[in-house]
Every structure is written in C-alpha cells, then in structure tokens.
Structure 1
Amino acid sequence: MDKIFEATLFNRNKLLTILESCSDEQLNFVPKNFNNSIIWNIGHVLVTEQLLVYRLSGLELKIEESYVNMLRKGTSPLQDFTSSQIQYIKENLIRTVEITRKDYQSNLFRSYQSYPTSTGIVLNNVDEALQFNAFHEGIHLGVVLSLIKLTQKI
C-alpha cells in the first residue's frame, strides 16, 4: 500500500501547487458546459477520500462535516468558495493523507461497509477503497488541468 499513499501524495502535491498558483477568481470559475470549478474538484477529492476510507469504516472524519455537504458526489458550487474555505482545503490536502497513512499503518481500519461506486466497482475493504481513491483522484487531477487552460483567459 506504500505505492498507493505515494501516488496519492504526489497527486495532492500537484493539486496544492495549483491552488497556490491560481487566484480565487480562477479557482472559482465555472466554464461554460462545465458543472464545477477547480476548487470544487480539489475539495471533492479531499471529501471523497474521507468518505470512502473513514465513513465507510465507521470512523470519524478528519475534516469538518460542512465540507462534505458542499463537495460530496452529486454537488456543484452554489456560490464562490471564500478565501477561508480555500485555505481550509489547502491546509487539509496533505494533512489528511498523512493521517490516513498513519491510521492505516496502525491497523485502525478493522471493518468496512461495502460500497458500489458510480463506476460499478464495489469496494469491500479499506485496501480497495484506497486503491479506488487513487484512481478517482487521478481523474479529478485531469479535470483540474483542463480547467486551468480555460481559466487562463480570465
């Protein structure tokens, strides 16, 4: 599982670099024919990892519940994210992966509620959740990279 954490941290560091290099206006911009923004996609990966790994293991999330309601699957930004919300996402991108790695190494994840993803893949344990999460985050990194090209015009 070390490679899964390595890949996830690589992805999160790329997303953090993007967060630090874009203005709030760029982060919040939703281009025509898109449903969400750069910041929504980055926040969504933060929330999804917590739901797939912690919630489905019956454990307390390491982020505030209000972010789950804003960023879970099926949501889209109803308003611009504030500077403090963007800062919260920045502060938790790396921190949550490090906590998850530590908790995994400590065998904290003892039970798991099976979950059928929207791709049709059924997750049956935390190992499968972590592997799927790395795949999911890669998809959203690709979306973010596409959105960056569209926001360079604003």
Structure 2
Amino acid sequence: MDASFKIWETNRHLYLKLINNYSLEQLNKIPDGFSNNLVWNLGHIIVAQQGLVYRLSGLPVNVSDDMTNTYKNGSKPTGQTTQAEVDTLKTLLISLMEQTKADYAAGKFQHYTEYTTGTGFHLASTEEAIQFNNYHEALHLGFMMNIRKFL
C-alpha cells in the first residue's frame, strides 16, 4: 500500500495547493455549464473517501452527518461556503489522510462490505477501496482544473 498512499498524499497536497490559490468568492463560484464549484469538489473527495474506506469497512467515519449530506454523491452546492468551513475542509484534507494511514498500519481495517461504484468498479477489499479512491480523487482534481479556467 506504500505506493497507493504515496500517490494519495501527493494528490491531497495538489488539492491544497490549488485551493490556496483562490479567494472564497472564487471557491464558491459555479461557472456556467458546471453543477458544482471548487470547494464542493474538495468536500466531496473527503466525504467519499470516508465512505469508501471507513463506512464500507464497518468503521465509523470521521466526518459529521451534516458534512456527509452536504458533499455526498449526487449533492450540489446549496449556498456560500464560509471561510471557516473552507479552513475545516483544508485541515481535514490532510488530517484524515494521516488518520487513514495510521489506522491502516494499526490493522483496523479487518472487514469490507463489497461495493460496486456508480461507474461500475467492484470493490472487494479496503485495499481496492483505497486504490479506487486515488482514481476518484484524480477525476475530481481534473474537474477542479477545468473549473478554475472559468474563474
């Protein structure tokens, strides 16, 4: 899993670097033709990782139900995200990655409920979920790179 975690860590730092380059107004802007914004994508990858890795492993997630509902698959931005919320997301971006790595090293992921994603990927283990999560986060980084062209 070292390679998967290295890829994930690099990707999360790319997210942080990208987000730090924009004002709160820009982070909240939904460009014409898009259904979400930069900050929604950030929240979404955090919530999705917790669901894919923790929830499906039978472990409690490390985000609130409110955050899950705000950023879950199929949701859309409903208002202006505050600077405090953005700061929380930026903190969680790194802290939850570190928590997952520590929990994995400690052997906390013992079970996994098999799951097929909306795009047809069948996940049968925590390791597969972690690998798929890298794919998922790369897609959203691409979406964000496209959104930023219109800010």
TM beyond 0.5: yes
1:104 aligned residue: 104
**Could you report, residue by residue, the CA deviation over 1:94-142 in whole angstroms, capped at 9, with x for unpaired residues?**
1111110111111100111111101111111100000000000000001
Matched AA of 2:41: N
- Counterparts of 2:3 and 2:141, CA distance in 1: 18
**Could you report, residue by residue, the CA deviation over 1:133-153 in whole angstroms, capped at 9, with x for unpaired residues?**
0000000001111111111xx
Matched AA of 1:123: L
Q: Structure 2, unaligned stretches of length 5 or more?
A: none
1:43 aligned residue: 43
CA shift, 1:64, in A, is 2.0
2:117 aligned residue: 117
Matched AA of 1:44: H
Query: Is the aligned partner of 1:6 residue 2:6?
Result: yes
Matched AA of 1:97: M
Matched AA of 1:118: G
2:65 aligned residue: 65
CA shift, 1:65, in A, is 2.1
- Counterparts of 1:62 and 1:78, CA distance in 2: 22
Query: Is the aligned partner of 1:147 residue 2:131?
Result: no
Query: What's the C-alpha RMSD, in Å, of the aligned pairs?
Result: 0.8
Aligned-residue identity in percent: 38
- Counterparts of 1:20 and 1:32, CA distance in 2: 22
Matched AA of 2:134: A
Q: Moved runs in structure 1, 4+ residues, more than 4 A?
A: none
CA shift, 1:23, in A, is 0.3
- Counterparts of 1:85 and 1:44, CA distance in 2: 13
Aligned length: 151
1:31 aligned residue: 31
Could you tell me the TM-score, scaled by structure 2's length? Answer: 0.97
- Counterparts of 2:12 and 2:59, CA distance in 1: 22
- Counterparts of 1:99 and 1:136, CA distance in 2: 19
- Counterparts of 1:131 and 1:20, CA distance in 2: 26
Could you tell me the TM-score, scaled by structure 1's length? Answer: 0.95
2:78 aligned residue: 78
